[in-house]
Amino acid sequence: MKTTADAVIKSMYEAINRRDITAAMEFIDDNCVYQDLNFPQPFQGKQAVQQLLEESCQGIPDDLLFVIDDLTIGDDFAVGVLWHVELDGIPFPNGRGVSFYRLSQTTGKLVFARDIVEPPIKPGKGAFFIIRLVTPLVRRFLQSKTGHSASPHRWLSLFLWALTAIYLYVLILSPPGQIIPGEPVWAIRPETLQEVINESLNFFLVLPILNLVGITYMEAPTVHPTSEALFNFAEAWIFMFLPLLLADPRGRNLPKVAIWGMAMFLTNVFLIPYMALRLNTPLAEHKRENHKDSLTSIFGWIGLIVGSIAIFWGFVGRPEFADLASRGNFFLEQITTNRVAIAFCVDLVLFYIFQIVLLGAVVSPSGKTPWLRFVPFWGLAVSLIKNGE
């Protein structure tokens, strides 16, 4: 009797749910190619597929089952399946998937499979933004594969896209202890999350300073002054980048304000793609001039004041947090164990590099103090103040 594709796959699922791998392998062709998109490479051949199924079933509770929600019918050799995983009859979180299976017309057994599993992290509309960011990187890669030459700017742009991926994986997504200490965003501990929230509430040290002078309409969360200093110094620095981005001639047609906002209020990972994208914009012939802008000066003054106070606060703020030696030891401990602190330190290094590049692009080299762009933080603040006067 002729066996349809949906009947074969149903039988295979039933065998896997019984943890009977021998029975499941009766439906697998010797030349099967099994693509589980959780893995970088497909499993080729019956032996490789058997190893995959054995490892997937090893140590799994008997009541963790694959449940078919829907499947296509009417094709003897191909079937699509919607499925989910249940534990003791309860749907497993992030346990949905879709699969496609094709049978061999010679043997009637599974010769090709592709599984797509629900991702644990759901970026939502952020996925559209990520696609727009990585498209230039993919385009450069494809061009290099087809033999098109790349200019130095394009190679630098490619490097920055790679740096974006490294930053995103190492500092935000890599598992605990794999590369650096601390928790990734998908496994962040409640106490770490509370620390981030408390630092955000103490943004620009407004609440701590108001409490210090007796204004207590809202109590500032108690945070170690060294952590507050690092957070607010980094925030003051990226705050001053907005006038630079707006004046950057290479950044025309890019969503500068949106990128700056995400870099300031989320993570610096958004600023790195901007530096890559701007390199792909031809620089139009123009004469660089330092246009006077009072708003630019205001950004410089605010950044200078907040950043300087943040450093002072790290040394003397909250006297209950002991002496300078203890604060120094706490800082060293944080940058070797706390991923949030490590990320802020990496950001400071990148801010300095980007400051040099962007100030060089918007400030005339014939000015009186072109060397200010090489002075970290304070050079940017003074340049903005001078440009706005």
pLDDT given at position 74: 84
Which residue matches tokens 């205001």? 298
| Structural tokens at position 162 | 């790679």
Query: Please, are residues 14 and 2 in contact by the beta-carbon 8 Å criterion?
Result: no
pLDDT given at position 228: 93
Q: Give the C-alpha separation, 153 to 281, whole Å.
A: 10
- Residue partners of 275: CB distance under 8 A and separation at least 6: 160, 354, 357
Query: Please, are residues 352 and 234 in contact by the beta-carbon 8 Å criterion?
Result: no
> pTM value?
0.63
Q: Which fold has domain 5-117?
A: Nuclear Transport Factor 2; Chain: A, (3.10.450)
| Structural tokens at position 118 | 């629900």
Which residue matches tokens 């997937």? 56
Per-residue pLDDT of the chain (389 residues; tens, 9 = 90+): 457 899 999 999 999 999 999 999 999 999 999 999 888 789 999 999 999 999 888 878 889 999 999 999 888 899 999 999 998 889 888 789 999 999 999 999 999 999 998 876 666 665 665 666 666 656 655 555 555 545 567 788 888 888 988 898 889 888 887 888 888 888 888 888 888 899 999 899 999 989 988 888 889 999 999 999 999 999 999 999 999 999 998 887 888 999 999 998 888 888 998 998 888 776 655 444 445 577 899 999 999 999 999 999 999 999 898 789 999 999 999 999 999 999 999 999 999 999 999 998 887 665 667 789 999 999 999 999 987 66
Q: Give the C-alpha separation, 185 to 168, whole Å.
A: 10
Query: Please, are residues 371 and 276 in contact by the beta-carbon 8 Å criterion?
Result: no
Phi, psi of 19 (to 5 degrees): 60, 30
pLDDT given at position 331: 93
- Residue partners of 101: CB distance under 8 A and separation at least 6: 5, 8, 9, 78, 79, 80, 81, 110, 112, 113
Q: Give the C-alpha separation, 111 to 103, whole Å.
A: 5
Taking the C-alpha atoms of 83, 88, 89 and 92 in order, what is their torsion angle to the nearest 10 degrees?
A: -50
Query: Please, are residues 202 and 222 in contact by the beta-carbon 8 Å criterion?
Result: no
3-state secondary structure labels for all residues of 170-204: HHHHCCCCCCCCCCCHHHCCHHHHHHHHHHHHCHH
pLDDT given at position 141: 55
Q: Give the C-alpha separation, 193 to 182, whole Å.
A: 12
Torsion-angle region of 377 (φ positive above 0: left; ψ -120 to 50: alpha; else: beta): left
Which residue matches tokens 């929230």? 197
Domain segments of the chain as ranges:
5-117, 126-388
Closest by Cα among 381, 129, 371 to 241: 381
Closest by Cα among 295, 309, 317, 316 to 377: 309
